[in-house]
Amino acid sequence: MKLVTGNSNRALAEAVASYLEVPLTDCTVKRFNDKEIFVEIHENVRGEDVFILQSTSYPANDNLMELLILSDALRRSSARRITAVIPYFGYARQDRKSASRTPISAKLVANLITEAGVNRVVTLDLHAAQIQGFFDIPTDNLYGAPVMVRDIQEHYSPNGNVMIVSPDVGGVARARATAQRIGADLAIVDKRRPKAGVSEVMNIIGDVSGHACILIDDIVDSGGTLVNAAEALLKAGATEVSAYITHGVLSEGAAERIAASKLKELVITDSIIATDAAKAAKNIRIISIAPLMGEAIARTASEQSVSSLLD
C-alpha cells in the first residue's frame, strides 16, 4: 500500500500515515513560475494499491487539479489501483440545477476524477448523499457522526438535558441520526434564505427551553446560519448553544464572526486545514478524523467492510 498526498492538508495526511504506520510516498507537488502544477512520484508504484489523500478545499481549483494530476501520474506509472480519499469534497453544494442555466458542478467534478484514472473514492459527509451516484466507480461516503458522538459523550453529561438541533430542514436526517445515537431529543431551526450566503432564522420547531442545544451540520462556511440559530435558540430558552460541524470551510471573516457570537463552542474536524483565525478563536475546537480515515483506508486495502465504521 502507498499513501500519497498533495498540498491541501498535509497535517491530516501525516496523521493518517502515523495511524497506518505507513510512510507517505516521496513525491513532488509544486508550481511552475506561471502556477501550473508539476507532479513527480519518486518511488516505484507499479502494481501498488495507492491512496491519494487530498481535500478539494480552498483553494478548491488548485487542490482539485493536484488530485487530478496526481491520479494521472500514478495511472501512467502503472499503479494497480488508485483510491482518491477526499475528506472534503468541494463543489458538492452544486449538486442540482438550482435555477435556469446553472451547472451541476458536482457531477462534472465526479467525471473529471473518474477520467483522471481513479478507481475508487472514499469521502466524508457529502453535502448531498446522492452525489455518490454521480460517480461510475465505487464510492464510500463516511460519516463524521461516530467521531462527534464520542466527543459529545466526553463533554456532556448523559443526564445534562442535551437537545440536538438541525440548523435547517435539509439537515434533519443527519441531526436525527446523532440524536438517536446519544438518546437525545431533536429540534429544528426553520429559516428562510433570501439569497446565497445569507440566512434569516424564522422559527424553532420543538421546545428547547431549559436544554443545552447542540447544532449538527456538515458545512460551516460564513457562519451566519450558526450565529443566527444560536441567538434564536437562546431567545427560545436554551441554556447554552454549541455546534458540531464536519467541515469547517470558514471563509473570510467567519472565524471572527463565530468568536464574537453567543455560541459556547464550535467543534469542527480537520477534514480542512484550519486557518490561523480559526486556531486563534477561543470558542472553536478541532477534533481529528485521522483514525476514521486511516481505518477506512486499511479496510479498503484489505478488502474488509467499510460500512461497519458507521455503526
Active-site residue identified among 107, 191, 262, 264: 191
Q: What average pLDDT does range 255-283 have in this prediction?
A: 95
Give the annotated binding-site residues for ATP.
34-36, 93-94
Please report which confidence band the pLDDT of residue 41 belongs to, taking 50, 70 and 90 as the band edges.
Answer: very high
- Residues of the chain with pLDDT > 90: what percent? 87
Extended strands (E) in 79-184? 81-86, 120-124, 139-142, 162-166
Which cell numbers in the block locate residue 22? 505507513
Cα three-residue angle 119-248-295, rounded to 5 degrees = 45
Question: For residues 215 and 187, is the Cβ–Cβ distance under 8 A?
Answer: no
Instruction: Determine the residue type at 186.
Output: L
- Domains of the chain in sequence order: 2-142+291-304 (3.40.50.2020), 145-288 (3.40.50.2020)
DSSP per residue, 161-178: -EEEEESSGGGHHHHHHH
* pLDDT tens digit sequence for 134-143: 999 999 999 9
- In angstroms, rounded to a whole number, what is the distance separating the alpha carbons of residues 18 and 206? 44
pLDDT tens, position by position, 63-96: 999 999 999 999 999 999 999 999 999 999 999 9
Residue 82 near residue 35, CB atoms below 8 Å: no
Between the alpha carbon of residue 2 and those of residues 5, 101, 139, 221, the distances in Å are 10, 42, 19, 33
Binding residue ranges for Mg(2+): 127, 168
* Binding site feature residues: 34-36, 93-94, 127, 168, 193, 217, 221-225
pLDDT per residue as tens digits for the range 171-192:
899 999 999 999 999 999 987 7
What is the Cα–Cα distance from 63 to 75, expressed in whole angstroms? Answer: 18
Q: C-alpha cell of 177?
A: 441520526
Strands 212-220 and 198-205: unpaired
- Residue 30: active-site member: no
Task: Write out the E strands in 125-264.
Answer: 139-142, 162-166, 185-195, 198-205, 212-220, 240-248
Banded pLDDT at 193 (limits 50, 70, 90) = low
